[in-house]
Amino acid sequence: MSNDTNGKANNGSNGNLRPNYLSPIEVLGQSIATIAPSATPALVIPLVFATAGNGTWLAYLFALVAIVLVGVSLNQFTSRSASPGSLYAYIAKGLGPGAGVISGWALLLAYILCAGSVLLGFINYANVLLAYGGIVISPFIIGLVGALIAWFIAYKDVKLSAKIMLSCESVAILLIIALAVIVLANHGLHLDHAQLALKGVSPYAIRIGLVLAFFSFTGFEGAAALGDEAKQPLQTIPKAIIFSTIFVGVFFVLLSYTQVLGFIGSTTTLDQSAAPLSALATMNGVAFFGPLISIGALISFWSCFLACLNASGRILFLMGRHAVFHSSVGDAHEYNKTPHIALTVSAILAAVIPLVLLALKTGGYFDIYGYIGTIATFGFLLTYLLIAIAAPVYLYREKELKTGHIVLAIITVVAVLIPLLGSIYPLPAAPYNLFPFIFVAWLVVGGLWFLMKKFQSPNFASDIDINLESIHQKFREIRGSGDGI
């Protein structure tokens, strides 16, 4: 049964998303593609190594535990209700429309900047592949073509998006696992004591590395944005969130250990390699893996861009229906049943931001990736923090709160605060010292936007409350009957 998110807060929007459309495996594809697991060893693990060194695997292990805790908190909502609004809708339900709008504001920024960062990864690996044939194409053309194709697929059919994303990631992950097995086999069956003993690693180094390690997991909640379109959403979405997190987290821990091990004795360090997986392939006598791995990384970055569009488009869609933004972004395409206008807005912003920064020569691909990826991480971490706080409040109102839920919330808040506070105090070196202030300024604008909307319409907040309560009530009845969940 679909929740049919159409108590539209009286904004005049029309058109619905397609209900009961996506299978469990397709829902899983959204979360996995948004995490982009095969892109992480290609780009993010080397960035984490640049600060965490031999503690890279530990940074990923801590991030895995923390994200699983967030996932369990999130599933207090996803197992009881579903909508396209993802964490925005859940935080609004738990902590009120004000907190919901602020979280939605932060989450939209996070998804759009995440999409922008992985578009740079896509451009980088496209250049790596083109270099094999001596071909040179403008990065702006590569970026625009990649973004346009992703937008068209997202605009056309969410099922097509899900199938393409999961297929692409599956192939890329298998290639990387094969390479990891070869690396481990070539180094023999022994443990790297330097890594396990955290040789040369300081708490400060781990703390800084944690931010980017968390960035590797961001988007794990992507399946939550498919609440209107998933079959049996109260079952498939919670399972997709937890399974994708654990599977990808174990993959990250093992790959971070393997990559650090693989570069021992190399004249180039892991963080200095432009294509670390290709370099590992060459060092281990399987150079033909290089182009294959580059293709896998290219596809993974592109799939993540597509997944971020799907998620941000649906959050923007529901916020449009709640009159947070113009009602047109709350429209669904008459035939495709996709949030076509919201997807178009998201795609334009996600493509323009990184390409403009590239044109302004603010840094290379990896530099800009780190810049906007860090700001995106702040957006994700804030919403993860708020969902952990909102969960026990929501359960209390539902008369389902238990002591274990409170303990879980406290542990999760502490786990998320560690990388969040650690990334801003003491302030890192420039330009990263500016990013927390940029993010706070964005939140201030979002808060002022909420107040302006309340001033324009006294019923603005109550209309959001009414709409979300109607969705939850439908699911209470579904859960009570045991039908269609």
Determine the Cα–Cα distance for residues 209 and 220; give it in Å rounded to an integer: 19
pLDDT of residue 456: 95
Would you state the pLDDT for residue 339? Answer: 97
Average pLDDT over the chain, rounded to an integer: 90
Gyration radius of the chain's alpha carbons: 22
Q: Is residue 69 part of a domain?
A: yes
Phi, psi of 79 (to 5 degrees): -85, -5
As a whole number, mean pLDDT of residues 434-442 equals: 95
Is residue 483 one of the residues assigned to a domain? Answer: no
Q: Which pLDDT belongs to residue 258? A: 94
* pTM given for the model: 0.92
Residue 355 sits at the vertex; the CA angle it makes with 350 and 359, to the nearest 5 degrees, is 160
Is the per-residue pLDDT at 477 higher than 90? no
Does 19 fall in a domain? no
DSSP per position, 10-31: TS-----PPTT-B-HHHHHHHH
Q: Does the residue 12 lie in any domain?
A: no
485 pLDDT tier (thresholds 50, 70, 90): low
Report how far residue 81's alpha carbon sits from residue 475's, in angstroms, rounded to the nearest whole number: 6
Q: What CATH number should be reported for the domain holding residue 226?
A: 1.20.1740.10
**pLDDT on residue 482:** 64
Q: Is residue 277 part of a domain?
A: yes
Q: What's the chain's length in residues? A: 485
227, 84 Cβ separation under 8 angstroms: yes
**Would residue 399 be called left, alpha or beta, if left means φ above 0 and alpha means ψ between -120 and 50 degrees?**
left
- In this prediction, residue 3 carries a pLDDT of 46
Q: What is the pLDDT of residues 56-87, one digit of tens each?
A: 999 999 999 999 999 999 999 999 999 999 99
Q: pLDDT class for 14, splitting at 50, 70, 90?
A: low
The residue among 412, 405, 406, 404 whose CA lies nearest residue 388 is 412
Locate 376 and state its tokens: 């995106």
- Judge whether residue 409 has pLDDT over 90: yes
> Cβ neighbours of residue 67 under 8 Å, at least 6 residues apart?
214, 217, 220, 245, 249, 384
Residues whose CB is less than 8 angstroms from the CB of residue 302 and which lie 6 or more positions away in sequence, other chains included: 118, 122, 146, 149, 150, 168
Amino acid at 109: L
Assigned domain for 480 exists: no
b/e for 21-48, b at 16 or more Cβ within 10 A? bbbbebbbbbbbbbbbbbbbbbbbbbbb
> Which tokens is 66 given?
């923390």
β-bridge mates for residue 22, sequence order: 230
Query: Rounded to the nearest 5 degrees, what angle is found at the Cα of 60, between the Cα atoms of 57 and 65?
Result: 125
Give residue 319's domain range: 24-465
Integer angstrom CA distances of residue 446 from 105, 106, 203, 348: 6, 8, 34, 20
Number of domains in the chain: 1
Cβ contacts of 445 within 8 Å, gap of 6 or more:
105
Question: Could you tell me the two tokens for 157?
Answer: 């059919």
Question: How much is the pLDDT for 326?
Answer: 94
- 313 found inside a domain: yes
Q: What is the mean pLDDT of residues 4-31?
A: 74
Q: Is residue 17 a part of any domain in this protein?
A: no
Distance (Å, whole) CA 376 – CA 342: 19
Please answer whether residues 290 and 282 qualify as being in contact, where contact means their C-beta atoms are separated by less than 8 angstroms: yes
Phi, psi of 102 (to 5 degrees): -60, -45
Q: How confident is the model at residue 12 (pLDDT cuts 50, 70, 90)?
A: very low
Could you give the 3-state DSSP secondary structure of residue 230? strand
